[in-house]
């Protein structure tokens, strides 16, 4: 079906809740803006989306996603440009990725008119919720749920697509400490590691809780056959600067999320002439590089965290502490460059930025 943005029903709030926000103290994921978008899929077609006041949802206890996790999501961010207008960073890439997740999870494609036009309309309506402070943004969370009222195990036939938005501050306030995981597994070839399926995050809670008790912030996931090749850290893609080369695991085995920030970082580095490699990277190679003084920088990338420097990495008894981040050339340059593009301070030569 094709829905133009004019086909969205809009029901506005009577009184905005924006006064409840302290602009000087915005935390990630705590507050939600005035409106949300909802669209239903049934009988093989999407209905007309609605923008309504933010509200709770009610479901039958027999609803599919509650039992079998047929649920996927995305993470996108909007920023205020220097003129005070909201701009959204690379939403088309998130739209395409959502539909890759949808295919793997036996869910329907979300049309561009609902995902992109709906998002633009929603952000435009709640434009006052896009914060302006340093390191702040409006985090946009599109998601899809299977909503058949049936507890037999089969792909659902009815779905809900929803977008909510949330003013956000930094995800991490300081560089992260990482524990290299060699017991639990996040993803394996042929699995769903490349998707943003809810289950990928649910399965990580127990191992994350264990390492947090040990004093670490995040897990560095390794492959499920040998626990040798690194995959992602926590919910982020991971990069290591070894000598003069930036290395990140390749995404060819369905185990690694094709991060939009990951792709942006690779593009910016290649354009700057930095040597970049996407390939299998073993924890042994990282350890050797560290002990030879060649591991210069390491960072995670993701929409929520943007670029998160890693201050230390622990593998068994080996605690690898990286040099002081203030001197990291590549990470600091990338942070600045990406921020300049996202906040519309620098010319957008890649067509990454979308106005609302």
Q: Which of residues 213-252 bind ligand COI (CB under 6 A)?
A: 235
Ordered alpha helix ranges (H), 162-282: 198-202, 205-213, 260-272
300 binds ligand COI (CB under 6 A): no
Nearer to ligand COI, 87 or 168 (CB): 168
Q: Among 86, 91, 302, 309, which residue interacts with ligand COI (rule: CB under 6 A)? A: 302
Nearer to ligand COI, 261 or 314 (CB): 261
Nearer to ligand COI, 26 or 242 (CB): 26
CA distances from 307 to 44, 236, 286 (A): 40, 9, 20
Least separation, in Å, of the C-beta of 261 and ligand COI?
7
131 binds ligand COI (CB under 6 A): no
C-beta of residue 6 within 8 angstroms of C-beta of residue 49: no
Characterize the bridge pairing of strands 9-10 and 50-53: parallel
Taking residues 200 to 219 in sequence order and writing x for each that binds ligand COI by CB under 6 A, - otherwise, the string is -x------------------
Q: Among 253, 303, 314, 331, which residue interacts with ligand COI (rule: CB under 6 A)? A: 303
Q: Which secondary-structure segment (H or E) carries 50?
A: strand 50-53
Tell me how many residues contact ligand COI (CB under 6 A). 6
C-beta of residue 230 within 8 angstroms of C-beta of residue 269: no
Q: Among 304, 310, 334, 354, which residue interacts with ligand COI (rule: CB under 6 A)? A: 304
> Measured between alpha carbons, how far is 256 from 90 in angstroms, rounded to an integer?
19
Q: How far, rounded to the nearest angstrom, does the alpha carbon of residue 199 sit from its chain's CA centroid?
A: 15
Nearer to ligand COI, 167 or 302 (CB): 302
Characterize the bridge pairing of strands 76-80 and 137-146: antiparallel
> Measured between alpha carbons, how far is 296 from 136 in angstroms, rounded to an integer?
28
Taking residues 89 to 118 in sequence order and writing x for each that binds ligand COI by CB under 6 A, - otherwise, the string is ------------------------------
Least separation, in Å, of the C-beta of 217 and ligand COI?
14
Return the SS3 of 122: helix
Q: Among 3, 8, 39, 75, which residue interacts with ligand COI (rule: CB under 6 A)? A: 75
Nearer to ligand COI, 80 or 97 (CB): 97
308 binds ligand COI (CB under 6 A): no
Of 142, 162, 153, the residue nearest 70 (C-alpha)? 153
Could you tell me the two tokens for 304? 């929520």
Catalog residues that contact ligand COI under the rule CB under 6 A.
75, 201, 235, 302-304
């Amino acid at each position: 079906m094709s829905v133009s943005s004019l086909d969205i029903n809009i029901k506005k709030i009577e009184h905005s809740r924006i006064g409840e926000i302290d602009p000087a103290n915005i935390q990630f994921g705590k507050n939600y803006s005035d409106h949300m978008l909802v669209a239903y899929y049934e009988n093989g077609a999407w209905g007309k989306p609605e923008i309504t006041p933010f509200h709770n949802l009610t479901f039958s206890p027999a609803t599919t996603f509650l039992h079998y996790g047929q649920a996927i999501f995305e993470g996108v961010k909007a920023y205020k440009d220097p003129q005070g207008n909201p701009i959204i960073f690379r939403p088309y890439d998130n739209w395409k990725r959502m539909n890759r997740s949808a295919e793997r999870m036996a869910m329907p494609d979300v049309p561009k008119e609902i995902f992109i036009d709906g998002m633009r309309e929603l952000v435009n309506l709640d434009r006052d919720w896009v914060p302006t402070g340093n390191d702040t943004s409006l985090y946009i969370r599109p998601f899809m749920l299977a909503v058949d009222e049936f507890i037999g195990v089969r792909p659902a036939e009815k779905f809900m697509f929803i977008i909510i938005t949330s003013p956000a501050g930094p995800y991490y306030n300081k560089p992260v400490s990482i524990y290299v995981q060699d017991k639990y597994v996040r993803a394996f070839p042929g699995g769903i590691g490349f998707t943003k399926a809810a289950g990928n995050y649910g399965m990580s809670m127990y191992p994350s809780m264990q390492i947090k008790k040990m004093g670490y912030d995040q897990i560095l996931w390794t492959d499920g056959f040998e626990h040798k090749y690194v995959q992602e850290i926590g919910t982020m893609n991971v990069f290591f600067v070894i000598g003069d080369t930036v290395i990140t695991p390749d995404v060819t085995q369905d185990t690694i999320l094709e991060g939009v920030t990951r792709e942006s970082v690779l593009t910016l580095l290649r354009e700057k002439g930095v040597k970049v490699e996407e390939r299998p990277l073993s924890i042994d190679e990282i350890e050797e590089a560290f002990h030879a003084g060649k591991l210069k920088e390491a960072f995670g990338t993701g929409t929520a965290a943007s670029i998160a420097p890693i201050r230390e990495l622990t593998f068994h008894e080996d605690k690898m502490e990286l040099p002081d981040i203030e001197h990291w050339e590549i990470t600091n340059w990338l942070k600045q460059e990406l921020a300049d593009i996202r906040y519309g301070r620098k010319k957008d030569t890649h067509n990454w930025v979308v106005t609302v």
